[in-house]
Amino acid sequence: MKRSTGIVFLVALALAAFVYFYDLKHKPASEAASSESSKPAFNLTSSDVKQIKIQRAGTTMDFERKSDGWYMTQPRAQRAEGSALDGLASTLSFVSVDRTFPNTPDNLNSFGLKDPTVTLDFTLNNGTSHEVRFGGKDFSASSVYALIDDGKQISLMADSLYSNANKSPDDFRDKSLTGVAAADANFFDLVNSSGEVSGTKKDNNWTLSKPRTVAGDRSKIDALLSAVGTGQITKFVSDTDAGLAKYGLDNPAVRFQAKLADGKSVQLAVGKKEGSDYYARDLSHPGVFEINDNLYSILSDKYIDLRDKQITHIMPDDVTRAEVHNLNGTFACIKGAGSGLVLEQTANKTADGKAAAAPPSCPDFLGELGEDQADEVYDNPSASIAKELAKPAVQITITDKNGKKSQLVFSGITGDSIYGRSDASPAIFKFAKRVFDEVNFKQPQ
């Protein structure tokens, strides 16, 4: 070992020894001598905790667990953030005491317990109550001194319980925007920069009534309702409706309403942008809060986003016959012995009286059309758009199991698109040109 390296090593060793003995000398004798294995601070399970009280920064917060979750009763009466209270109750069930020290005036003062930073009281289902006062942290900053039930010993424990309790009232408030389940809604109305869209649900299907009466896109509308139902408040701004103009909520950019099957209603308003979030309010009670950009984006859906964009909803299994006229000829597909359609043949036997070969299968073009979403829908098509279908390149006549017939027509390819129309409505659908290959198939061989 080089001499310089050896000197550095000895200096470091001496310094470490000095810090150790200095710390030992300046600790109370009881602290220096205390070294015991950790033990549970309480004998309970998280579900045993019925009530919690937290006192910090001059504020008292009271919480009570009910059959449907946690509720805050002070400083305001409202639903509480279940995950935060469940986490606190869970920590109570496993937090351990690592070391103990005598409860003396000197120790209370040294460990910051003379004036506790946080006091936690909780009551169990059996009526038993406990109190925990928290002082300062130890040198590691990962453990905290605490006094349990004003006992004879001061405890040193991991700071997890302290961290879970040392929160503001807003941290314990329920941040659910509405809690509405999409399946419970039977009406919605959305007003934003693109206009107003409203719809009603019947038999699990949505029909838009504004700006015109057409079928709604069930998946998109359910996604909108789900986003509102599961949306989270990102920040509480005010508990009153004072000064709504500064938040842009006197004349909100977005208004949303949903009516539920039980007669209840949810109404939201969204105002100005603040950073990456937006000011908003629930019209059923006073207050202003913020929502994130993702929810705002969904609340910006336009009519075309929520309108049904499928040209047909007929189920392939309900079809008994489809007559096809396209650029490859004219032929018909009928329901086969199994699932799917097969080519319709005029004879079941060959010329020599033998059974004809099984007819070839037709492609699942109806299934593909049922999944295709139009890029645009023209409810009142202009003359130039309607002209695209004056002489359709493809015409398909469908007969269902009840004998009802319907017809689909498609144009040829124009640029990167084709146009289609169903005889169920005058609307014209604009699709990507790949859809043309789905309907312009050759007769199966």
pLDDT confidence of residue 338: 81
pLDDT confidence of residue 357: 78
In sequence order, which ranges of 239-382 are alpha helices (DSSP H)?
293-298, 303-306, 365-371
Contact 420, 428 (CB under 8 A): yes
**Per-residue pLDDT tens over the stretch 390-439:** 999 999 999 999 999 999 999 999 999 999 999 999 999 999 999 999 99
Instruction: Choose between 31 and 78: higher pLDDT.
Output: 78
Per the omega criterion (within 30 degrees of 0), is the bond before 75 cis?
yes
Q: Which domains does the chain have, with CATH numbers?
A: 29-172 (no CATH), 182-306 (2.60.40), 316-439 (2.60.40)
Question: Mean pLDDT over residues 207-231, rounded?
Answer: 96
pLDDT confidence of residue 272: 97
Half-sphere exposure of 242 (CA within 13 A, CB side): 3
- Residue 352 pLDDT level (bands cut at 50, 70, 90): low
What's the start-to-end Cα distance of the chain, in Å? 89
Question: pTM for the complete prediction?
Answer: 0.78
Q: Over 90: is that where the pLDDT of 27 sits?
A: no
Q: E-assigned strands of 8-139?
A: 39-40, 49-56, 59-66, 69-74, 78-79, 96-102, 118-124, 129-137
Instruction: Give which of 69, 99, 91, 94 is closest to 82, Cα–Cα.
Output: 69
pLDDT confidence of residue 6: 47
**Per-residue pLDDT tens over the stretch 129-168:** 999 999 999 999 999 999 999 999 999 999 999 999 999 9
Q: E-assigned strands of 138-183?
A: 143-148, 153-158
State both tokens at 431.
Answer: 């699709």
| Helix, strand, coil share of the chain (percent; to 5) | 25, 40, 35
